[in-house]
Every structure is written in structure tokens, then in C-alpha cells.
């Protein structure tokens, strides 16, 4: 049994996500009082307005990405260094501490360690599989867009070149975002797999 969960959530057999919206908590049966109690006694934290971290740990990059996807919903997509890393490319360390989420609407903003960047330009996204360890069913931009967004974050040429060269195959075509996850959405510019 899930005795570590607040009483209204113990009926959930698989536990709850690390990042949880207040709206989802309410849909799962938690009252406002139960949420406040979890914040006061179980180490839960507010990461943004209406978004909670349900573990006593410090939030990591994956948590901030999930915050960004929630804040940019329904059009948010993982981009930049994190998308490049999911595609198996890029340096071990990010160029900036903030994660980058692209959105089709809204305003540019920084909340905690997530930067949400809206754009009117179309972009293609892929849906990550439901068994992805950090972002099940999360949207991610195509590799070409992720590489371009990452390159903009670097202030020197050498890491950009180190990123772009392996991303381009010998035929000059960008590698697809994630092999085996072929669920494309949107209309994009460029070759995305």
C-alpha cells in the first residue's frame, strides 16, 4: 500500500508523479486542505503557481522540464540541450542552468529554472513513449530545431561545432529525434526524420 502518500491519494497503485498540478491533485481526490497538509508535513513544495513537487528532494532538470511542459500546455515541447541529449547528442553539461521549453502560444517567461519561449514559427514535435523514465508522453522538438536552439545558448563556436557535426549524417540530413518513436505532430521546417 502507498502509506507514504497523503490519505486521499493512497488508492493510486502506481504512486504519483514527482511534478503534479494542483488541478490533477484535486481530480485525484485531494482537497485544498490535504494539499496544504502535504506541503507542511510531507516535504512537498510549490515549484510554480499551481504546480507541486511531491517529494522532499530538490527539483532536478527533469522536474523543471515537466514544470515547463505544464506551464506551456497544451503546446509546450522540450527543446534545447535537453532535447539534444534525449536524441543522444551534445555535451555532458548544459550551456545554461535553465531548461528550455518551446510553446506555440503565451509569453516569454522564466519560472524557477525553466525558460518558456513562445514562437509563431511552426515546429515539428515527437511524442515520447509512455514508458519514458522522466517525461512519459512528453512532446519534444525535432533534432534540427533542438540543435539550433542549443546552439543559440552557447556563447562560443567550438561547442556549437561539436554539437552540429555528429547531428548531421554523411548525406547532410539531420538525424531523427529518437529512433523508434515515430509519432510526429505539427508542420515543421527542415528535415526532422
Q: How confident is the model over 96-108, as a mean pLDDT? A: 95
> Cβ contacts of residue 49 below 8 Å, gap of 6+?
none
d(CA 143, CA 175): 7
Q: Which of 18-22, 63-67, 99-103, 143-147 is predicted least confidently?
A: 143-147
Confidence at residue 64, expressed as pLDDT on a 0 to 100 scale: 98
pLDDT tens digits, 87-97? 888 889 999 99
Quickly state the pLDDT bin for 193 (edges 50, 70, 90).
very low
| pTM (2 d.p.) | 0.81
Confidence at residue 90, expressed as pLDDT on a 0 to 100 scale: 85
d(CA 54, CA 38): 8
Q: Which of 93-102, 163-172, 176-185 has the highest mean pLDDT?
A: 93-102
pLDDT tens digits, 25-58? 999 888 999 999 999 999 999 999 999 999 999 9
What sign has the CA pseudo-torsion 130, 52, 68, 104? positive
Confidence at residue 143, expressed as pLDDT on a 0 to 100 scale: 86
Amino acid at each position: 500500500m502507498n502509506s507514504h502518500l497523503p490519505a486521499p491519494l493512497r488508492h493510486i497503485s502506481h504512486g504519483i508523479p514527482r511534478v503534479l498540478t494542483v488541478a490533477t491533485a484535486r481530480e485525484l481526490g485531494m482537497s485544498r486542505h490535504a494539499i496544504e497538509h502535504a506541503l507542511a508535513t510531507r516535504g512537498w513544495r510549490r515549484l510554480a503557481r499551481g504546480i507541486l513537487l511531491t517529494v522532499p528532494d530538490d527539483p532536478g532538470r527533469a522536474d523543471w522540464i515537466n514544470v515547463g511542459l505544464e506551464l506551456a500546455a497544451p503546446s509546450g515541447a522540450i527543446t534545447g540541450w535537453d532535447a539534444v541529449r534525449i536524441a543522444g547528442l551534445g555535451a555532458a553539461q548544459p550551456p545554461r542552468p535553465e531548461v528550455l521549453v518551446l510553446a506555440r502560444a503565451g509569453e516569454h517567461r522564466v519560472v524557477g529554472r525553466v525558460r518558456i519561449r513562445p514562437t509563431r514559427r511552426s515546429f515539428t514535435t515527437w511524442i515520447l513513449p509512455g514508458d519514458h523514465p522522466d517525461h512519459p508522453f512528453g512532446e519534444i522538438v525535432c533534432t534540427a530545431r533542438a540543435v539550433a536552439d542549443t546552439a543559440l545558448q552557447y556563447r562560443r563556436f567550438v561547442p556549437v561545432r561539436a554539437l552540429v557535426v555528429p547531428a548531421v549524417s554523411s548525406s547532410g540530413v539531420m538525424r531523427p529525434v529518437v529512433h523508434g518513436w515515430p509519432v510526429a505532430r505539427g508542420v515543421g521546417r527542415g528535415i526532422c526524420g
